[in-house]
Amino acid sequence: MSDIAAEKSKPKYSTFTNTIYLIKNMWKWNKKLFLLCALEIPATVIVPLLQIYLPKILIDSVTKNVSITELMINIGIPIVCIIFLNVFLKSASSMVTFEKTNYRLKYFQPFFGKALDTDYENIDGAAGQKKFVKAGMAIVSNDSPAEAIVGEIVSFFSNIIGFILYAGIVSNIHPLIVIFIIASSIINYFVGKYVNNFEHKNKDNLAPINRKLEYISEKTGDFKSAKDMRLYKMSPWFKNMYSTFLNQKVYFEKKNIRHRYFGNFIDGVLILFRDGITYGFLINSVVNKNMPIGDFVLYFGAVAGFSTWMSGIVKNLNQLNSYSLGICDLREYLEMEDKMNRGSGVELPAPYELPCDIELKNLYYKYPGAQDYAIKNLNLHIKKGEKIALVGVNGAGKTTLVKLICGLYTPTKGEIYINGKKSSFYNRDEYYTLFSVVFQDIYLLPVSIEENIALKEEDKIDNEKMDRVLNMSGLMEKVKKLPKGKKTLLIKSVYDDAIELSGGEMQKLMLSQALYKDAPIIMLDEPTAALDPIAENGIYQKYNELTKGRTSIFISHRLASTRFCDRIVLLDGGRIIEEGDHNSLMRENGKYREMFDAQSYYYKDNIGGEENA
């Protein structure tokens, strides 16, 4: 089992800048939590300080034979303060726990907002998904960095103040004790930092495994996969895969545990030497230097407290460093740079300029991490209102080209022009309004049929337009048979009274969605792949009506379905190798004819000719 090679570059953000980032957000989102934490810090320091002074006050009062009244006052005031502060800390702790959770949940809005709004390329593919998973790990639970770090910050500042106060007390015994304790703690800090950095790098191994385990868990309870799992006896495979990935996760988690054990062992050894030497020095002062009993008790408690504060600082720094690495993942995800224009752009085509003209010049595109270009020096001019068919074998670059034109991908080199203006000059979100697209992969929302089509709330839907697109797509026949018609809910896993659409019906719904948007450019990627032949033929017969007043791009593997297009463009290896109408391409006897003859072979009256009759 091999580890993913960890990048040796330093984290983008330091622990200090991440701490400032979190404190600013806390003040911005939850001032109550900020104030509670600010009050917790001094209270956390004062209580143990009073507790080590109380025995000294009692012993000194007794040895000085003070009156009962004076004794009660001497010890009564700190006792009352201790009780009051402990009550405050208990109450504040409950409130802080609640407010910390609220504070962490605030990050979910920008987290999901980024996923929904960032450039598609940022979250497309394994690299983008890894960023998404690692960022999610920073906010997913109460133990996640975004919440846990709040308590660590409070503890850190408490330990700093306590360290300063107790250092002043302990230095009265001997300054070397302070230096020795600090030195041992510094060693402990670097050991802890090494462990934390290892765990952070190990996330690159764990993140893809966790994603696979989540996928398997999700699919085992998915209605859509339940049929295949039973009919094809996939249960053993799922169990085996889950066991395999779980073992991989345990393997990498064990590495984390072994490194933590090493850190804890070093910590224990340092504590043994540190406390042994310090307490030996203190006992020697009492025996040989006549240190007063009251001072001995105070210093004994101060040394223990000082070691605790110092150890706390080291643990805080290591834990803050660990949490900071998680916050780095979150911030790097939230601050992913968008390449497309998010500011003001050139004006969209006016109604009299429609339909749109599309021109691709010297276009190249390479997927992140890929060795070769998916689109290579492609030049294509699509005239206003022209109906183009993109054809080619799987992997030829058809869908990639569609994603480039509609702005989901940014060209590696070259330019895309819409009505003579560079696509990069348009505002990204305004640019998206130019396209109605039906992709091969279909995702439905747990809302009604009409809301899935319009992608609007029910009261904002144009019913006349809705009925028109339902009829055009051929879905109206299905809708009329449903008791609730177009208000029927979808996704059975969410609603008990919802329905599940067939593959063909879902494609009709997606076509309805594209038609309802009514954009000037319509792009259909295998829109009839799941339709029966009669329904498919119905779409072809109505294609001119569907694309009237629009520039259209149609992708299909069924070459017979492209004959109604004005021009057919054949892609191979990311390049245009042939283009023209059906008849001209057939006369060329090239790749297109070869593919067409292969597809039509079994539809001929005399299959294979005389020899095979």
Tens-digit pLDDT profile for residues 324-380: 888 998 998 998 888 888 888 888 888 888 888 999 999 999 888 788 888 898 999
Q: For 8, which DSSP code?
A: -
| 223 and 276 together in one domain | yes
Residue 117 burial (CB count, 10 A): 13
* Band of residue 542 on the pLDDT scale cut at 50, 70, 90: low
pLDDT grade, residue 10 (50/70/90)?
low
The residue ranking higher by pLDDT, 533 or 267, is 267
CB atoms within 10 A of CB 399: 19
Express each pLDDT in 138-192 by its tens digit: 888 888 888 888 888 898 999 889 888 888 887 777 777 777 777 777 787 788 7
Q: According to the model, what pLDDT value does residue 6 have? A: 46
* DSSP codes joined into one string, 125-153: SHHHHHHHHHHHHTTSSTTSHHHHHHHHH
Contact 19/320 with Cβ under 8 angstroms? Answer: yes
pLDDT for residue 530 is more than 60: no
Asked if 403 and 359 touch (Cβ cutoff 8 Å), the reply is no
Q: How many angstroms separate the Cα of 173 from the Cα of each of 160, 281, 291, 298, 529?
A: 20, 9, 10, 11, 85
310 with 416, same domain: the answer is no
Please state, in angstroms and rounded to a whole number, the distance separating the CA atoms of residues 347 and 353.
Answer: 12
Q: 295 and 390: one domain?
A: no
Q: Assess contact for 387 and 569: CB atoms under 8 A.
A: no
Give the range among 230-234, 264-268, 427-431 with minimum mean pLDDT: 230-234
User: How many other CB atoms sit within 10 Å of the CB of residue 67?
Assistant: 9
User: Residues 474-487: pLDDT tens digits?
Assistant: 888 888 888 888 88
Q: What is the mean pLDDT of the chain?
A: 82
Concatenate the DSSP letters of all residues of 535-552 into one string. HHHHHHHTHHHHTTTSEE
Q: Find the CATH number of the domain harbouring 531.
A: 3.40.50.300
The reply to whether 316 and 359 lie within a common domain is no
Decide which of 556 and 335 is more confident. 335
Query: CA–CA separation, 286 vs 291, rounded Å?
Result: 5
CATH assignment at residue 169: 1.20.1560.10
Shared-domain flag, residues 365 and 290: no
Report if residue 8 sits inside a domain.
no
Average pLDDT on 300-318 reads 79
Residue 70 has pLDDT above 60, yes or no: yes
Segment 295-318 shows an average pLDDT of 78
| pLDDT value of position 50 | 86
Please indicate, yes or no, whether residues 134 and 227 belong to a single structural domain of this protein.
Answer: yes
Segments forming the whole domain that contains residue 117: 15-334
Percent of the chain's residues with pLDDT above 90: 5
The per-residue pLDDT for 610 is 41
In this prediction, residue 541 has a pLDDT band, given cuts at 50, 70 and 90, of low
pLDDT for 535: 60
Q: How confident is the model at residue 381 (pLDDT cuts 50, 70, 90)?
A: very high
Tell me the three-class secondary structure of 382-423, residue by residue.
Answer: ECCCCEEEEECCCCCCHHHHHHHHCCCCCCCEEEEEECCEEH
Spacing of C-alpha 16 from chain mean position: 24
Q: Does 610 reside within a domain? A: no
461-487 in b/e form (b: 16+ CB < 10 A) is: beeeebeebbebbbbbebbeeeeeebe
Supply the pLDDT for residue 502.
82
pLDDT (0 to 100) of residue 217: 80
Taking the C-alpha atoms of residue 158 and residue 86, their distance in angstroms, rounded to an integer, is 15
Residues 432-441 have pLDDT tens digits of: 989 988 887 8
Name the DSSP letter for residue 354: -
Angle at which helices 31-63 and 293-334 cross, to 10°: 170
Same-domain pairing of 199 and 274: yes
Helix axes 15-29, 31-63, angle to 10 degrees: 110
Residue 303 and residue 357 share a domain = no
Does the pLDDT value for residue 267 go beyond 50?
A: yes
What pLDDT sits at residue 609? 46
Statement to judge: residues 265 and 384 lie in one domain:
no
Contacts of 557 (CB under 8 A, 6+ apart): 391, 394, 526, 529
Provide the edge-to-edge strand list for the sheet that holds 413-418: 375-382, 358-365, 413-418, 421-422
Query: Is it the case that residue 533 has pLDDT exceeding 80?
Result: no
Residue 509 lies in a domain: no
| pLDDT at residue 526, as a whole number | 74
Separation of alpha carbons 183 and 562, rounded Å: 78
Q: Which residue's structure tokens are 């009759």?
A: 613
Q: Name the token pair of 415.
A: 């330019």
Same-domain pairing of 283 and 308:
yes
Is 549 contained in some domain? Answer: yes
User: What is the spatial distance between Cα 435 and Cα 441, in angstroms, rounded to a whole number?
Assistant: 17
Q: Using the 3D structure, point to which of 309, 334, 359 is the last residue of a domain.
A: 334
Section 42-65 average pLDDT: 84
* Percent share of the chain, pLDDT over 70: 90
**496 contact partners, CB below 8 Å, separation of at least 6:** none
User: What pLDDT is recorded for position 7?
Assistant: 47
Residue with tokens 């969209």: 348
Tokens of 552: 């259209």
Task: Return the ∠ at Cα 137 (arms to 124 and 11), rounded to 5°.
Answer: 80
Whether 464 shows a pLDDT value over 80: the answer reads yes
pLDDT given at position 601: 67
Residue 310 CA, distance from chain mean position: 36
> For residues 68 and 365, which has the higher predicted lDDT (pLDDT)?
365
Termini Cα distance of the chain = 56
User: Do residues 226 and 305 share a domain?
Assistant: yes
Run of H or E residues at 266:
helix 235-289
> Measuring CA to CA, how many Å separate 105 from each of 144, 155, 178, 328?
11, 22, 42, 18
Separation CA 348–CA 556 (nearest Å): 29
Helices (H), 433-532: 449-454, 463-473, 476-481, 503-517
Indicate if the alpha-carbon torsion angle 173, 178, 184, 185 is positive or negative: positive
Can you tell me which residue has the tokens 């999901």? Answer: 112
Whether 387 and 534 share a structural domain? yes
Look at residue 455 and tell me if it is in a domain. no
Domain stop point among 306, 334, 362: 334
Q: What single DSSP character describes residue 347? A: P
Among 273, 304, 334, which residue terminates a domain? 334
Structurally, the chain folds into a number of domains equal to: 2
| Residue 3 scores a pLDDT above 60 | no
Say if residues 446 and 489 touch (Cβ distance below 8 Å): yes
Is the CB of residue 457 less than 8 Å from the CB of residue 451? yes
Whether 257 maps to a domain, the answer reads: yes
Is 501 inside a domain boundary? no
Q: Is 361 in contact with 414 (CB distance < 8 Å)?
A: yes
| Residue carrying the six token digits 């409130």 | 95
pTM above 0.85, yes or no: no
